[in-house]
Amino acid sequence: MKRLSNYIKSIDSEKPINLNAFYKLVDTLELTYRRETQDVDATKYKGQLYIVTRINDELMSELRALVADKGNSRAAAATQNKSHSVNVNGSFLLIREQFAHPVVVTMDANGEYHCPIPQSQEVLVIENRQNFIDIDQMVGFLEKYTPFKLASNMNIIFSEGNEISNALHQQFLVKYNRIHLCMDVDLGGLTIAKNLMSLLPNTHFNFLIPDDIEKRLDRVVEREKASYIDDVINIGLSTPALEIYAKLIKDKQKTLEQESYLHEQ
């Protein structure tokens, strides 16, 4: 509704607008009051631009209701069923201390956070839900096939895909000296890693992959499309710390989901 808001601001300040474009936008809205030709008076400015001198009060009232306080909160936008178009004024992450039951870290609109457990110096971040749920098995796999070792009282966070790279999480995540990333070996996993590295430029990261990753990729039957591989290459080029993993995917033309780690034979 940003375009509608801009139109209303221009109309209120008697600035010219593209009247036909305004009509098209209004006519796409499922308003209670339907626009009629006689509802708007306007004076030609130049070209397609007109200065609106009058709008039917009922029509204008409904248009204002759609944009009122919309940029300030989801709650206000929800009065017109538009909350999905406004960012949430806060965020949360699921976290656990080693194998303990997960708890919730909450962040407000300024990134100020409340964490119900002590933050450890290092943290393990797991991308996929099933791997976070089956944490005993997941950690056992990592300790067997990667250099990772679960330290005493270490925090483990569920990334929920790329949600973890939300800027509201920065103040919380920056407290960790080292972040171990257990991601899918694919474009999505590399993207999450890249975004986190951009969000936390002074943090040490470990991108965890099993030491027999090449054999695991060789067992995958389907190859990725050229356009997909191009996107992987671009991440490697833009983020040197991820270049080796991007090259691995490029060379094999294949990817691997971390859920496969839960199905060891």
- pLDDT, averaged per 10 consecutive residues of the chain (265 residues), comes to 85 91 88 85 91 89 73 47 51 94 92 94 95 94 95 94 88 96 94 93 95 92 92 93 95 91 73
Examine the domain organization and report whether 48 and 159 are in the same domain. no
Examine the domain organization and report whether 166 and 241 are in the same domain. yes
Q: Which structural domain, as residue segments, surrounds residue 61? A: 2-85
Residue 180: C-alpha distances to residues 55, 127, 146, 190, 193 (Å):
59, 11, 11, 13, 10
Report pTM.
Answer: 0.68
Give the C-alpha separation, 155 to 164, whole Å.
Answer: 14
Examine the domain organization and report whether 144 and 15 are in the same domain. no
Which one-letter amino acid corresponds to residue 227? S
Examine the domain organization and report whether 166 and 243 are in the same domain. yes
Residues 74 and 83: beta-carbon distance below 8 Å: yes
Examine the domain organization and report whether 160 and 253 are in the same domain. yes
Examine the domain organization and report whether 78 and 100 are in the same domain. no
Examine the domain organization and report whether 203 and 127 are in the same domain. yes
Residues 47-91 have pLDDT tens digits of: 889 999 999 888 888 888 777 644 444 444 444 444 444 444 688
Examine the domain organization and report whether 120 and 103 are in the same domain. yes
Strands 90-97 and 113-114: unpaired
Give the C-alpha separation, 84 to 88, whole Å.
Answer: 9
Please tell me the total count of domains within the chain. 2
